[in-house]
């Protein structure tokens, strides 16, 4: 059954990669076998958790031995405007005894009870992991039973890590929402300008830079999944009029099936970069009007865009001098590569390369058009190669996620986090200004000059020419004698006091008059 679910998740007609494949190839799914001893990256469980955990009033319970949750909790910075249940970590922490005696399901059931009684969450998401999938725990049955018994939604998420990558996990999370959550709540305040945003994680609270723009236009975000979401709002997502998909690799399948099931049209957009933000607002307005929102929404949107764009460009202007000509290496799949590229190129920055590992075919085309032939797109680089490129001065700054952070830093190249651990919010018009500001700050930090200055000695510790002598050679006769003693003698030659000088002695005596060496400090 798990197999079917995974296959279904991969069989995504809206996925541009899939669209480009022949039917036979598509049927094989897109799981690439990993190379033992040369693989990196998260698992499906990781992906599923990422896509659901920012639903802030729910408890997220990980069913498995300790490692899956114990090694990974509290490692992402989504913003919550209210509840903090989602930040707590819950796991059944199975022991060997639980596993051999087959107590897994029972422990899971009890765990749900404990959590529901003590923390009163709006819902409980239950994640299966490798071991519990392997031993065949029926989490569907346990969730169903617990749900009716304790009167709250308990949602099974089938996400064993061995099923595949993080990316697959995102899709499995979407399935869980579609199978068990969306459509289960009918709100009484449905309106013509309701929208759903999918694949927006509200990292560092950055969706809060965008939401006020929508508020100003009267566009209501029914729910933003998963960033700062509340369970009931997600459950009512089917009442929206338009879906915007922000991170398409994560939840595009969910958007498509919401269209199928409830007739909600969707589009892919981005809130990174000025042009893309405007374009997204335009699309939202146009699609809402088509679906019955007041026609003046379009006009108002254009006015807002004009004002905000002008303001953003004015604020970016002071950075142009500092950033023009600087070369950027973009190594990410997290934030839409082309959204950032467009904004920075307008400021005269150059791109020496971009990773398109997680980008769709469409993304790649846009990157190519933007960067023309000068820069090259690569499919992800081995750390050693990345290091070599940076070390040889291949870029002035790298923008990437935390995984490659230390590669840049060890090569003594400025680095800026534009992935999930970033602490600065980069969305919308203000976010673009913030991103540019952070790049300028990073590039301009005087620390780079210091750490690139070689030590004044060689590998054996012998002083090199880079060493600046502290001794000034002003006496020609002594300068011929290179020994330390000679240089020292010369340095202090002029400062010696003649202790036969009666004036000096008088001064000295006065200074210590009345003091006995034994009680110095006691007066």
Partner 1 sequence: MTDAPSKLTTVAKAAAVNPLKSSQPLGAALAFLGVDNAMPLFHGTQGCTSFALVLIGRHYKEVIPIQTTAMDEVSTILGGADHLEEALLNLKKRTNPSLIGVCTTALVETRGEDFAGDLKLIAERRGDVLAGTEIVLAHTPDFAGSIEEGWAKAVTAIIEGVVPQGAPARVAPERINILPGSHLTVADLEAIRDTVEAFGLEPTILPDISGSLDGKVAERWVPTANGGTAVEDIRTMGGAVHTIAIGEHMRGPAEVLKARTGVPYTLFDTLTGLVATDRFVALLAEISGRPVPARVRRARAQLEDALLDGHFHFGGKRVAIAAEPDLLYAMARFFAGLGAEVACAVSSTGSSPILEAVPAAEVVVGDLDDFETRAEGCDLLVTHSHGRQASERLNIPLMRVGFPIFDRLGAQHRHTALYEGTRDLVFEVANIVQAHHVPPTPAELDPFRDHGDTHVGRPQTAAH
Interface mask toward partner 1 for 431-460; x: CB under 8 A: --------------------x---------
| E strand or H helix at 203 | none
- Token match 């230390």: residue? 406
User: Contact between 40 and partner 1 (CB under 8 A)?
Assistant: yes
Q: Which does 96 bind (CB under 5 to 8 A by kind): partner 1, ligand SF4, none?
A: partner 1
CA angle (432 as vertex; 429, 438 as ends), nearest 5? 145
- State the number of binding residues for ligand SF4 (CB under 6 A): 10
Interface mask toward partner 1 for 109-138; x: CB under 8 A: xxx-xxx--------------xx--xx---
Among positions 51, 80, 129, 337, the unique one binding ligand SF4 when judged by CB under 6 A:
129
State whether the Cα torsion 457-458-462-468 is positive or negative: negative
| Whether 237 contacts 195, CB under 8 Å | no
Give the residues across from 511 on adjacent strands: none
> Footprint of ligand SF4 on residues 54-83 (CB under 6 A)?
64, 67-68
What burial letters (b/e) apply to 402-421, b meaning 16+ CB within 10 Å? eebbebbeebebbbbbbbbb
> Footprint of partner 1 on residues 389-408 (CB under 8 A)?
391, 402-403, 406-407
Please say which residue, 36 or 461, places its beta carbon nearer to ligand SF4.
Answer: 36
Tally of residues, the chain: 523
User: Contact between 142 and ligand SF4 (CB under 6 A)?
Assistant: no
Pull the structure tokens for residue 308: 């905000």
Q: Which stretch binds partner 1 (CB under 8 A): 88-96, 235-243, 289-297, 304-312?
A: 88-96
CB count in 10 Å sphere of residue 54:
26
Nearest residue to 327 (alpha-carbon basis) of 265, 374, 283, 270: 374
> Footprint of partner 1 on residues 158-177 (CB under 8 A)?
160-164
How far apart are alpha carbons 146 and 153 in whole angstroms?
A: 9
User: Contact between 423 and partner 1 (CB under 8 A)?
Assistant: no
Among positions 47, 54, 160, 353, the unique one binding ligand SF4 when judged by CB under 6 A:
160
Among positions 55, 58, 124, 130, the unique one binding ligand SF4 when judged by CB under 6 A:
130
User: Contact between 224 and ligand SF4 (CB under 6 A)?
Assistant: no
Count helices and strands in the chain by DSSP H and E runs: 25, 13
Q: Which stretch binds ligand SF4 (CB under 6 A): 155-163, 183-191, 265-273, 503-511?
A: 155-163
Give the residues across from 43 on adjacent strands: 165
Among positions 1, 22, 23, 38, the unique one binding partner 1 when judged by CB under 8 A:
38
Q: Cβ 361 to ligand SF4, closest distance in Å? A: 28
How far apart are alpha carbons 493 and 393 in whole angstroms?
A: 48
Please say which residue, 93 or 346, places its beta carbon nearer to partner 1.
Answer: 93
CB count in 10 Å sphere of residue 258:
25
State whether the Cα torsion 32-35-36-41 is positive or negative: negative
Q: What is the largest CA-CA distance in the chain?
A: 107
Among positions 36, 151, 446, 461, the unique one binding partner 1 when judged by CB under 8 A:
36
Q: Which does 199 bind (CB under 5 to 8 A by kind): partner 1, ligand SF4, none?
A: none
Interface mask toward ligand SF4 for 491-520; x: CB under 6 A: ------------------------------
Q: Cβ 186 to ligand SF4, closest distance in Å? A: 35
């Amino acid at each position: 059954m798990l197999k079917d679910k995974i296959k279904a998740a991969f069989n995504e007609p809206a996925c541009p990669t899939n669209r480009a494949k022949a039917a036979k190839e598509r049927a094989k799914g897109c799981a690439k076998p990993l190379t033992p001893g040369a693989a990196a990256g998260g698992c499906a469980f990781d992906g599923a958790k990422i896509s659901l955990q920012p639903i802030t009033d729910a408890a997220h319970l990980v069913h498995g031995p300790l490692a899956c949750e114990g090694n990974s909790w509290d490692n992402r910075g989504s913003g919550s405007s209210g509840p903090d249940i989602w930040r707590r970590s819950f796991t059944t922490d199975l022991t060997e005894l639980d596993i051999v005696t087959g107590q897994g399901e029972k422990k899971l059931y009890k765990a749900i009870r404990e959590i529901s009684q003590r923390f009163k969450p709006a819902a409980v998401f239950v994640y299966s992991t490798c071991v519990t999938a392997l031993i065949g725990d029926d989490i569907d049955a346990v969730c169903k039973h617990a749900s009716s018994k304790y009167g709250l939604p308990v949602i099974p998420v089938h996400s064993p890590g061995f099923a595949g990558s993080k990316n697959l996990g995102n899709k499995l999370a979407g399935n869980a929402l579609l199978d068990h959550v969306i459509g289960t709540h009918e709100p009484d305040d449905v309106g013509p300008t309701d929208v759903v945003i999918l694949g927006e994680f509200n990292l560092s609270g950055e969706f809060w830079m965008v939401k006020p723009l929508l508020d100003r236009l009267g566009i209501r975000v029914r729910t933003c999944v998963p960033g700062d979401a509340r369970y009931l709002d997600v459950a009512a997502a089917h009442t929206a009029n338009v879906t915007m998909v922000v991170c398409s690799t994560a939840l595009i399948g969910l958007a498509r099936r919401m269209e199928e099931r409830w007739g909600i049209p969707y589009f892919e957009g981005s809130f990174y970069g000025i042009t893309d933000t405007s374009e997204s607002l335009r699309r939202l307005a146009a699609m809402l009007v088509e679906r019955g929102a007041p026609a003046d929404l379009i006009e108002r949107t254009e006015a807002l865009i004009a004002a905000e764009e002008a303001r953003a460009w004015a604020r970016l202007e002071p950075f142009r001098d500092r950033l023009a000509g600087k070369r950027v290496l973009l190594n990410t799949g997290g934030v839409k590569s082309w959204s950032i590229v467009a904004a920075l190129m307008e400021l005269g920055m150059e791109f020496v390369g971009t990773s398109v590992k997680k980008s769709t075919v469409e993304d790649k085309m846009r990157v190519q058009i933007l960067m023309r032939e000068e820069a090259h797109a690569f499919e992800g680089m081995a750390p050693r190669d990345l290091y070599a490129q940076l070390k040889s001065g291949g870029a002035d700054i790298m923008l990437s996620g935390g995984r490659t952070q230390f590669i840049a830093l060890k090569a003594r190249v400025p680095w800026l986090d534009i992935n999930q651990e970033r602490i600065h919010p980069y969305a919308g018009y203000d976010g673009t200004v913030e991103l540019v500001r952070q790049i300028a700050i990073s590039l301009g930090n005087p620390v780079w000059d210091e750490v690139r200055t070689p030590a004044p000695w060689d590998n054996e510790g012998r002083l090199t020419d880079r060493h600046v002598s502290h001794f000034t050679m002003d006496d020609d006769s002594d300068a011929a004698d290179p020994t330390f003693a000679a240089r020292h003698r010369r340095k202090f030659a002029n400062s010696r006091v003649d202790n036969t000088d009666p004036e000096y002695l008088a001064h000295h005596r006065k200074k210590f008059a009345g003091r006995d060496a034994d009680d110095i400090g006691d007066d």
